[in-house]
Amino acid sequence: MANIIEFNGPVLVSADEERHGMWSVDGVLTFERPTATPDRVLDGWVLPGFVDAHCHIGLGAGGAVDDQVTLAQAQADLNAGTLLIRDCGSPSDTRWVQQRTDLPRLIRAGRHIARSRRYLRGLGHEIEPEQLVETVRKEARDGDGWVKLVGDWIDRGVGDLAESFPAKILKDAISAAHDEGARVTAHCFAEDTIDHMLDANIDCIEHATGLLPRHIPRLVDQAVPIVPTLVNIATFPDIAAQAASKFPVYAEHMMRLWERRRERVQEAFEAGVSIYAGTDAGSVIKHGRIADEMRELHDAGLPPVAVLEAAAWGARKWLGVEGISEGASADVVLCSADPRRHPETVSDLLHIVLRGGIAR
Ligand SMILES: [Zn+2]
């Protein structure tokens, strides 16, 4: 006997396509009524499962965590309705998560690639510029189509944010990843880092706190999205306060970046830059905060439909993972009201269905 769930409510296939009458039959979505009686009928407004486009599974404050902690992280994301994760760097081998049908789908980027002694200890491969091309090539082969660079970090000698790698070598490294069929994304806090990443044909910008008007037309022309991770940027004042006595220039820079965080996202959105929701859960941020990031994007000026594009419809398309369609995997969340008009409903989901299994 097939396992059948009936979805008894409007199905939001996309921002402007609403359907009625959808079922999950053995974990696969269909708009054709099955002949057998459903095992369960679920009420609510149906959306594709949320996407956390910047998350770290298997990573804690001190580096790699064990499988028990990794499991709890993935479960926390699942319980928030995150059914697809683009991992943005993890020192753990999390391939086993992909074998578990009860855990969110996971697209891995391998391990962060950072400059020696210029990143949080224990997280990344810490290398010198001459090792960049080969390291990127290796991570491109080991990951699931993404490579993560740490584009800038505090340089204690300079006393401010500084780029990790020279622009010329970045270009060669990103082109090596493209040869391997992988896309590259980069942690970018500072202004100039974004220029050089765009020069090097980067595929995505993480945080993008240094975004300036000069970058916006380039992001649009080169079709490079940003993942602002606003729940993480909210920690900048704390970082600045801790650094202020030793590194005043850096602290002041971080505060300036923090102050413009919303304005910057709104300008990018209005110009047509693609924006995706990412929590940066892992080292500092707790897992399961996708609804908080969606609210942050809304507070930055994105209308509710744009927030849902950032965390559901659009993000899935960008990552090449199906949303709601005939024959797609039943990875959906159900809201108590129309999330296009009641954005707060995403933080209190009625049901969560992953691969046809009812997680809530
Ligand atoms: Zn991150």
| 119-159 tens-digit pLDDT | 988 889 999 999 999 999 999 999 999 999 999 999 999 99
Q: What is the mean pLDDT of residues 328-345?
A: 98
Residue type, 74: A
Evaluated on CA atoms 219, 225, 227, 228, the torsion sign reads positive
Would you state the pLDDT for residue 115?
A: 97
Report how far ligand 1's centroid is from the alpha carbon of 54 (Å). 6
The confidence score (pLDDT) of residue 37 equals 96
Domain match, 23 and 153 both: no
Distances (CA, A) of 256 to 133, 144, 155, 259: 33, 35, 18, 5
Ligand 1 centroid to Cα of residue 187, in Å, is: 7
Distance 184 CA to ligand 1 centre (A): 14
**What DSSP character marks residue 98?**
G
DSSP label at residue 90 = -
The token pair that represents 224 in the structure block: 């490079």
Which residues lie below 8 Å from residue 38, measured CB to CB, with a gap of 6+? Answer: 4, 5, 6, 23
Co-location of 142 and 258 in the same domain: yes
Q: Judge whether residue 69 has pLDDT over 90.
A: yes
Mean pLDDT for 203-221 is 98
Ligand 1 center to 2 CA (angstroms): 41
Whether 288 shows a pLDDT value over 90: the answer reads yes
Number of domain units in the chain:
2
353 beta partners = 332, 358
The alpha carbon of 125 and the centre of ligand 1 are apart by a number of angstroms equal to: 14
pLDDT above 90 coverage of the chain, percent: 97
Task: Evaluate whether 40 touches 25 at the Cβ level (below 8 Å).
Answer: no
- Measured in Å, residue 346 CA sits from the centre of ligand 1 at 23
CA of 31 to the centre of ligand 1 (A): 38
pLDDT tens per residue across span 309-328: 999 999 999 999 999 999 99
- The pLDDT assigned to 154 comes to 97
**Is residue 115 within a helix (H) or strand (E), and if so which, with residue range?**
strand 113-115
Same domain, 184 and 79: yes
Give me the pLDDT at residue 353, please: 98
Residue 191 has pLDDT above 90, yes or no: yes
Q: Which domain holds residue 329?
A: 4-47+323-358
What's this model's pTM, rounded to 2 decimal places?
A: 0.97
pLDDT for the residue 1:
78
d(CA 340, CA 58): 33
What's the gap in Å between 55 CA and the centre of ligand 1? Answer: 6
Residues 204 and 156 in one domain: yes
Q: What is the arithmetic mean of pLDDT over 50-64? A: 96
Work out the average pLDDT over 202-212: 98
Q: Give the number of other CB atoms < 10 A from CB of residue 144.
A: 15
Instruction: Kindly state whether residues 161 and 197 are assigned to the same domain.
Output: yes
**Cα-to-centroid distance, 53 and ligand 1 (Å):** 10
pLDDT, tens digit, for every residue of 263-279?
Answer: 999 999 999 999 999 99
What is the enclosing helix (H) or strand (E) of 304? helix 304-311
Residues 234 and 108 in one domain: yes
Helix (H, G, I), strand (E, B) or coil at 28: strand
Distance 105 CA to ligand 1 centre (A): 18
**CATH number for the domain harbouring residue 102:** 3.20.20.140
116 residue type, one letter: S
- 213, 154: one domain: yes
Ligand 1 centroid – CA 58 distance (Å): 12
The pLDDT score that the predictor gives to residue 324 is 98
Are residue 92 and residue 33 in the same domain, yes or no?
no
Q: What is the CATH number of the domain that holds 12?
A: 2.30.40.10
- Same domain? For 37 and 104 the reply is no
Residues 262 and 340 in one domain: no
The whole-number pLDDT of residue 352 equals 98
Averaged over 170-177, what is the pLDDT? Answer: 98
The pair of structure tokens assigned to 76 is 């926390």
Above 90 in pLDDT, residue 237?
yes
Residues 151, 243: one domain?
Answer: yes
Q: Are residues 42 and 71 in the same domain?
A: no
- Residue 88 Cα to ligand 1 middle (Å): 6
Q: What is the pLDDT of residue 122?
A: 86
